[in-house]
Amino acid sequence: MSYSRWGSPGRWYCFWSARSKSEKREDQLFEICEIGRGHLFSYAEIKKDINNILDQVEKSYKEPTIASLLKEVPGGATLANAVYEETVIEPDPVSEKELSELKRYLLQFVEDVDEDEDLND
C-alpha cells in the first residue's frame, strides 16, 4: 500500500513494502523509495522510537551518498547486460515540514499494521 508518491504533493514515495514476507506484525516493513537514499524500517523499529527513525532519515539527507545508476544498456541487450556507474548524490536536506509529512505516513503505516487481522503478534 502506498502512503505517498513523488509530487503528490510532497517529496516522499513511501509504502508498506512487499519485502515483508513474514506474517508477524513486528516484521512488516515501511519503505522510503529514493535513488541513493532509500530506507527500510520495520514496524517494530517505528513503534520503538519513531523520532529515531526521523533522525536517521534527516541525517542521511544531509550527507552525500554514492549510488550505482544505470548508464546504458548495450544495443540488443537486456538489463542483465546493463552498464552502471557510481554517481555521487549530493546532500538534499529535509525541512521540518517534510519530516512532519513523513511522520504522518509512518503513523498511518503503524495504524494499518495494527488493524490488519491477518498478521500475528
pLDDT in tens, 54-94: 999 999 999 999 999 999 999 888 988 999 999 999 999 99
Note the pLDDT of residue 108. 95
Note the pLDDT of residue 42. 96
Apex 48 CA angle, 46 and 50, nearest 5: 45
Residue-range domain boundaries for the chain: 2-115
Q: 16 to each of 12, 54, 91, 94, how far by Cα in Å?
A: 13, 17, 26, 22
Alpha-carbon distance 46 to 29, whole Å?
10
Tell me the sheet residues that pair with 117: none
State the chain's mean pLDDT as an integer.
Answer: 92
Question: At residue 7, does pLDDT exceed 80?
Answer: no
Note the pLDDT of residue 2. 76
Instruction: Outline where 1-90 has alpha helix (H).
Output: 43-48, 50-62
Question: At residue 50, does pLDDT exceed 90?
Answer: yes
